Chain A
Amino acid sequence: MKLKSNLAISDNGFIFDPATGESFSTNTIGLEIIQLINKGKTDEEIKNYFLENYEIDEATYERSYLDFISMLRYYNLIENE
């Protein structure tokens, strides 16, 4: 999975899509996910990162992660695979 290459993502979690002019805000967890995706991490690697660094069970993580990714897809922030 790859985010659209031209997205401008600030350290505050503000995401700007210059092709459409749309902008979005995400919290620090969302920003961490985005940064990990941008580093080329796989779903599995991102999951391991969160399970190691946060107090969260796997089922809750999976649900939240899929929710977030589907939101990125919904807003066309992910490159067509």
Chain B
Amino acid sequence: MNKKKITVAVSGLNATDNPGPGIPVIRALKESEYFDCRIIGLAYENLEPGIYMPNLVDKVYQVPYPSTGSDNLIQRIEYIHEIENINVIIPNFDAELYAFIKSEERLKEKGIYTFLPALEQFEERHKANLYNFGKKYNFNVPQSININSISELYSVEKDFTYPYLVKGKFYEAYVAFNIEQAIMYFNKLASKWGLPIIIQEFIRGTEVNVIALGDGEGNTIAAVAMRKLYITDKGKAWSGIAIDDKELLEITEQLISKTKWRGAFELEIIKTNNNKYYIVEINPRIPAWVYLAVGVGQNIPEALVKLALKLPVEKYTKYEIGKMFIRYSWEMIVPIEKFEHLSTFGEL
């Protein structure tokens, strides 16, 4: 079969100990039986390992952080598009999703397609809104409350027993066993990620995860359940295994059906000892462990690109249970000229 030639821009090339999903997404696209992908890497930092990894990106462009303004980022994308004729962009960072969701129509007019959740979907699953999300769609979620000052920590004691979780707006969470710890974590997270801070009931159990893809019409196109086997000190999965948990997949299908979720996402769920499932986080993008899904038979990035380009896509109905992924670290030797070129010209 002649593969369809397309150009896909991918961010998240930071294959570090806090890995972005870019590299596994690129690997998945390179393995596509349907597409022949030219890959444009979008890098925020000039030391993101994916920039220099062989046979993955065809061209890399530096892009400005979304924090400098969405317009700067999108203008840069438009500039890259003039040269590269991008068909699809897969943004892989939480921080850039808002800019790409807001600019979906603007990009589409130029011929650049995305397949992202609607702004309302993006907002309502936000950490700070998760409790209301659970109530609205009838999912078990831990009780949580958003606070903006240390004094509020004293008043939450009537509703929350220790230990509870103190979570940053975007990233990081700590378990607080007393008020002193809670204050310390509040300060640490507030200075790093800003307010509010989320206080969340601590659910005891095993963390399980699902990667899934919804078509925006309420249908599940792909879903793979995974349990982390080895977790780094940053809380990232260094190893995981595909599991057969029908209830987990049922929850995923329900979520997609009820919210008409559009795009890929990751569910973080705690399964308690008495088999209750609590959604603790919904990440509205492809997670870094996506290559496990590819390895067990569901090429989610390929399916996402098909959806973005409005091509027919078949629902994946099964995957291989018991396959594992194990990450590793690896030193590349890189000539300074490459680094110099990227640093000087913003592209490589």
Docked CA distance A16–B244 (Å): 11
Total chain A interface residues with beta-carbon distance under 8 A? 8
- B322 engages A8 (CB within 8 Å): yes
**Is A59's CB within 8 Å of the partner chain B?**
no
Most buried by B among A16, A19, A20: A19
Which residues on A sit within 8 Å (CB–CB) of B245?
19-20
Interface of B is mostly: strand
Chain A CB within 8 A of B321 CB: yes
Q: Interface range on chain B: under 10, 10 to 19, 20 to 34, or 35 or more?
A: 10 to 19
- A16 to B241 CA separation, bound complex (whole angstroms): 11
State the main secondary structure of chain A at its contact with B: loop
In this complex, what residue of A is CB-closest to B228? A21
**Chain A residues positioned under 8 Å from B229 (CB to CB):** 21
Shortest distance between the CB of B277 and any CB in chain A (Å): 13
Determine the distance from Cα of A13 to Cα of B163 in the docked complex, in whole angstroms.
39
Contact of A6 among B227, B240, B244 (CB under 8 A): B244
Return B245 CB to nearest CB of chain A, in Å. 5
Name B245's closest neighbour in chain A (CB-CB): A19
208-230 of chain B: CB within 8 A of chain A:
226-227, 229
- Residues in chain B near residue A18, CB distance under 8 A: 243-244, 321-322
- Complex-state Cα separation, A75 to B245, whole angstroms: 17
One digit per residue, 1 when the CB lies within 8 angstroms of any chain B CB and 0 when it does not, for chain A 41-58 equals 000000000000000000
Q: Which A residues contact B (CB, under 8 angstroms)?
A: 6, 8, 16, 18-22
